[in-house]
Structure 1
């Protein structure tokens, strides 16, 4: 075998070993999180779905995908959060911020993390959110963030157009 052939052979062997170990580890994780061994039948059995935490492996193809119920809807995968301009005076609207997170992160958590970044990168004067983003905790964070007795930017829930200061 030539030195180049030996090098290629070694690299392929290492790659296959790593790929096999990754697949084996993923399969082991999946089985340990989604199944249990029944001593009576000597077989693996699926765990009851209610006993599987949302951050356990949801997909053999994507080990970071998570599960949650939002309202009455079950969702698996990721959550995407977008911020955009929404002024009638603008000739067009722009996405000003985005983040992709595991699906177990709530809308309130996303807003708490991203609002300072949006404020730093834009000159936003108002924030409009749907009901999933609103909480008293968010209002307090906005007040502290803008160092005022009232929120530095009004926080509106879209469905009722109520202002929260």
Structure 2
């Protein structure tokens, strides 16, 4: 059963690596202003996320099966608890799989944070462009604010 759990973690790592590669492609599409490509990548990302959900379900099932096989009483099961009950060879494999999965997820989070920042900057640029093209009434020079400043003077200077 522990081998199934290790395989499940390796499958999760592979899918997360696919997501990381896709995230890097999203960054490239954002920086090159290729919105059509970005949208296509979002659709591909949704497929990978659904695949990831299925793999996570398999990992949970494998962990439950291992827990039942080992007659483990705990409600929740951590990788540390599992590592303590495996033989040396399986322990090394499980530890490597857990470290690889954690590292990949950490890198994916960093990359997605970058993408989020790029999107926010793009949205600020779009908002600024929209304001320049279609200014609001408050930003115009006409209105009561400008007439209040000149209310003491007439258009023609009578002393001249």
TM-score range, shorter chain: under 0.3
Q: Larger radius of gyration, structure 1 or 2?
A: 2
Question: What is the TM-score when the length of structure 2 is the normalising length?
Answer: 0.22
Higher strand proportion (structure 1 or 2):
1
TM (norm. structure 1) is: 0.22
